[in-house]
A and B are shown apart, each in its own frame.
Chain A
């Protein structure tokens, strides 16, 4: 485990970073949440926001 000091403007926080955290994305609840998000975005799209324009379009 290591500690990273990070700073955004005057908003700072020391955060611990680990290499052995479980992969929570395999949890069925999270899998379902991701599927729900894809379905929602497929149906309703996304707002026209800057960062999407700088990279490949976000196609779900």
Chain B
């Protein structure tokens, strides 16, 4: 049931770079067409930082603190989830770290995990940072940061 729900969720078409560490898609909603960038940046061996934000063609720069209000939050979250899964498929030993630039952005990450949890938990180990310690992710808690790593690499080596 959950798998079918996840697969049927609407999402945007993703474009990846050849390393599968940068992804782009276009959010098309109430505020117009907005280029979104998802970046997985290596910050230590096997450790990548997830960043996500809107690209301004005017400023030729990213703004990861803006709120688009494009009326397509769920569709964007599912698309980012696809980018994460594609990245993890190509980087099976990676540990992904995610922390929003604002509390609202961190909650957005949490919502993305919550919405796709039934799918995510079958593939990935997710931890959250709360009260000065890391712990296995629980849906009803508001964490400051997250890590995600593959639960069983053999699943991805088909």
Contact = CB atoms under 8 A, between A and B. Distances in A.
B49 A33 contact: yes
A47 B134 contact: yes
B145 interface: yes
Contact of A6 (B22, B46, B63, B89): B89
Nearest to A46: B147
Contact of A29 (B63, B147, B153): B63
Given A16-B14, A52-B46, A52-B95, A24 B62 contact: yes
A49 B43 CA distance: 17
Given A11-B85, A36-B99, A16 B13 contact: yes
B113 interface: no
A55 B93 contact: yes
Interface string B122-136: 010101010010110
A29 B85 contact: no
Contact of B7 (A11, A33, A41, A47): A11
B127 A47 contact: yes
B86 A15 contact: yes
Contact of B125 (A25, A29, A50, A55): A50
Contacts of B127: 47, 49
A58 B95 contact: yes
A24 B18 CA distance: 13
A43 to B, nearest CB: 10
A27 B15 contact: no
B82 A13 contact: yes
Interface string B4-36: 001100000111111010101000000000000
5 contacts: A24-B39, A33-B64, A37-B49, A40-B145, A49-B95
Interface of A: 1, 4, 6-11, 13, 15-19, 21, 23-25, 27-30, 33-34, 36-38, 40-41, 44-47, 49-52, 54-60
